[in-house]
Chains A and B, each alone.
Chain A
Amino acid sequence: MNAPASSYKKEDFETDQDVRWCPGCGDFAILSALQSVFADLGVPREKLVIVSGIGCSSRLPYYVNTYGFHGIHGRAPAIATGVKLANPDLEVWIATGDGDALAIGGNHLIHALRRNIGVKILLFNNRVYSLTKGQSSPTSELGQKTKSAPYGSIDPPFNALALALGAGATFVARSIDAFLPHLKSTLRRAAAHKGAAFVEILQNCLVFNDGAFGRLTDKNARGENLLVLEDGQPLVFGRRHDKGLRLNGLDFEAVVMDGGSADHDVLIHDERRSGEGYAYLLARMSDHADLPTPIGVFRDVQRPCYEDSVRAQIREITKEQGAGDLEKLLRAGSSWEVRE
């Protein structure tokens, strides 16, 4: 039998399946973080469902001892939507990748976010197709050499967070496989959000795109390239925390904080800022070479969840019309009787 939810350990969420990722894959860290977070959530194991599509990321459900559904390529948001609508009491998580979510499944992703269905979407972004052995993905960078672009990619990449914000996501965050504590806290925040939560996890593929995020994870480089978002705190980065972000017209610009007047212009991070503009500027920072890449929670706002609206309408109509009577329904309209 299941242990009480309050006393779960990480091991309670492990399965007897051999994990089949390559040794050293960033996915191991994500799996481990998720199992730890699940153990802490206090949600009964039977109420957790992980849905996935296809790709390395999407093998994850097999390795977590909850209900799991390894779907088909790109369709995890559709399947998860059905699960959540059929039973809103379930906590539904999606494991997906950059190809799965942003190429073949792009349509389902944006509509899930538009509806604000209460599912947690973990997008493992390694900027490459790995399970099919190294083709370009929708997040591959311009010039990135892959098996399908041996002379360098000429497809401009998607910015996953900007896309999610554009689709109306109510919770948008980014973390990195290499930063376990940050990853865990980001997953906890996603778990606590009511509505669709979108988390991009930058994930290293050792085999086909090693070091893709080296400038963000490397001890010597990350200080200048990474900005860790904290709600209510100024947007500050730099090895010596000496740089900040301010608005210049409708764009961000980095300024050196030297005790001068520019220090006062540095923006304070606000996850609940009304309007998507601010979060969108943050999301777009990773596309600019002269700006650092933010991680953390970009946006966390409330909007009615789809599953609640669906149930509320059913309740309302049922209250208005009374519970359905099958016999009456079949005889509705003009009916007539033929006697013997």
Chain B
Amino acid sequence: MRRIAEPRNKLKSTKALQAAVVRFAGDSGDGIQLTGSQFTDTTALFGNDLATCPEYPAEIRAPAGTLPGVSGYQIHFGSKDVLTPGDAVDALIAMNPAALVASLSDLKTNGIVIVNTDSFKERDLRKARLSSNPLDDYTLDRFRVFAVAITTLTRRAVEDLKLDGRIVDRCKNFFALGMCYWLYSRPMEPTLRWIGDKFAENPQLVEANRRALRAGYSYCDATEAFQIQYEVPPARLAPGVYRNVSGNTALSLGLIAASQRSGAPLFLGSYPITPASEILHELARHKNFGVITFQAEDEIGAIGAAIGAAFAGALAVTTTSGPGMALNAESVGLAVMVELPLVICNIQRGGPSTGLPTKTEQADLFQALFGRHGEAPAPVLAASSPGDCFTVAYEASRIALKYMVPVIVLSDGYLARSTGPWRIPELDDLPAIKARYRADPDGFAPYARDPETLARPWAIPGTPGLEHRVGGLEKRDVSGVIDYDPLNHERMVDLRARKVAAIAREIGPVVPKGDGDGDLLIVGWGSTKGAIRAAAQARRAGGRRIGHVHLRYLNPLPPNLADVLIRYKRVLVPELNMGQLAWLLRSRFLVDAIVFGKNQGQPFRQREIEAKIEEALR
């Protein structure tokens, strides 16, 4: 069913593509994100591989029609591995002049532009600060422009329903979506079904939106202007059951899975902050998994409650972004000192300070590694794709529970919102994870350690005979009583460091993708994986000998990383900051790593990395 497109108009020609990049752009109130995610869901069900990049302003309703108010949603879909949301756009749907202008530089020459001419009036042009109409001057000469009166056509399609004019105009995004479904030979059923569910309580809205969708589709089918229909055949993904997930959803699911599999109830202490809030929203929905979500008075209250819950036996989590992470610093140190399991998720955004709340950046790596006073080591893991957020959240929970340690998870604004097909894991394939509560009073000491993991026992209140006190003051080895003895402090500093370092034993060796040795090793971490992988593949196809290592574990680092680094003539480190990982690699391995930083609040483009590769190899 899902691979059958709508019946084709015999008068039109079809063209097969391996991949395409489509961008929807309009006002932040235009329903652009909804339109984009509908196209994405349909495309996922159709069987394409895909990557998306939603982008919206920090303001909820920036002034309509202005450049700061532009909301965009880009999807790259194909029949082969799709690794990034795409550098350049094949088809742009611009609902107003501001949206058009904001996207033009990303549009391929000869690319498709569909514009809603109804919103290109004098007043609209003024709001976008344009002195002339781009539909009438030379602005769009390089492109294939389809000027369509989308608002008028939508109104006409639903006029007999006698709906309020404002409601009618809100249907126009479905008209545009219908046009895109025709253009890329997508089935309309998933969206027709979705409309039925979404507006179930208002049959008139169901009818209006469905009509708009169909009208957009039929318009392209009937109009002579549209001559070519594209086909992007399904991808050959590894066998399994898939769904399309965003990073924040996957991260939430990973935490629930870790709780369910470990037997430790999930406790989230959180304070709303972009772009981490969706995790709080998602987890708050799943109370029937026993999940407690506590929206605290601030981030310090959030992590404080999480630490208290950890003391009492929960799989405790706090989720935040950079500014909240800064507030959390003292409490992370406390968690290091009391050696309790805790998962701290930083969904990074552009900084410093309030910075760019809705934009992405990777500039909190140093903060994660070193942002505490004293010697306070904590494991740091980074997710590299929306689906990988599940794996990393689960793995962070596993490490926290096994080693009795706070673990920092790094995601970012791009991963948080972008989506991709995720192969749903079989529960039996998930790694073993267990909450080990101490019950036996015999030989109990609060800081007696497991000889293998160096973890102290998790003796939770309510357990008879194990009453003990923990706290931020330095503890005597084994007994856990307050102790300021110089040599004891040194021993405890060393033990806390060794405990974290020992996790490296569990991390498999890194195996570079591409060439196992050669001219250039690219080392990356976090959300840049897709762009780096795509760029490395392209340059290798061009004859370069390149390897790519993408680090999930930033602390401790994989045990064989030093051996891998020396197998290449040069090392390039692309990251969305001023070179934090490069700094780490230089310091740890005395390797002359080349910094490739980008600080624009945007993910890397494949071509940027390709250019840098060529420069590094020159």
Contact = CB atoms under 8 A, between A and B. Distances in A.
A79 B314 CA distance: 13
B94 interface: no
13 contacts: A17-B481, A67-B468, A67-B469, A68-B469, A69-B308, A79-B308, A82-B309, A85-B267, A85-B305, A317-B288, A326-B261, A334-B44, A337-B240
Given A47-B462, A75-B304, A329-B256, A338 B242 contact: yes
Interface stretch (B289-297, B408-416, B584-592): B289-297
A108 B302 CA distance: 10
A78 B242 contact: no
A39 interface: no
Interface string B469-483: 111110000000110
Interface string B448-482: 00000000000011111111111111000000011
Nearest to B287: A317
A86 B460 CA distance: 11
Which of A54, A84, A89, A326: most chain B Cβ within 10 A? A326
B331 A330 contact: no
The 10 lowest CB-CB distance pairs between A and B, nearest first, are A82-B308, A70-B471, A78-B304, A324-B289, A82-B305, A68-B469, A86-B312, A79-B308, A82-B309, A86-B309
B441 A1 contact: yes
A47 B461 contact: yes
Nearest to A20: B482
Contacts of A320: 288
Interface in B265-323: 265, 267, 269, 286-292, 294, 296-298, 300-314, 316
Interface of A: 1-2, 15, 17, 44-49, 51-52, 54, 61-62, 65-72, 75, 77-87, 89-90, 107-108, 110-111, 310, 313-314, 317-318, 320-324, 326-327, 329-340
A78 B190 CA distance: 46
A58 to B, nearest CB: 9
B469 A62 contact: yes
Interface residues of B, number: 74
A46 B467 contact: yes
Given A70-B473, A108-B304, A86 B313 contact: yes
Contacts of B530: none
Contacts, number: 221
B307 A79 contact: yes
Contact of B286 (A72, A90, A329): A329
A104 B224 CA distance: 70
A107 B301 contact: yes
B238 A81 contact: no
Contacts of A77: 301
Contacts of A310: 292, 294
A329 B242 contact: no
A46 B242 contact: no
Contact of A61 (B290, B464, B471): B471
B305 A331 contact: no
B237 interface: yes
Contacts of B481: 17, 62
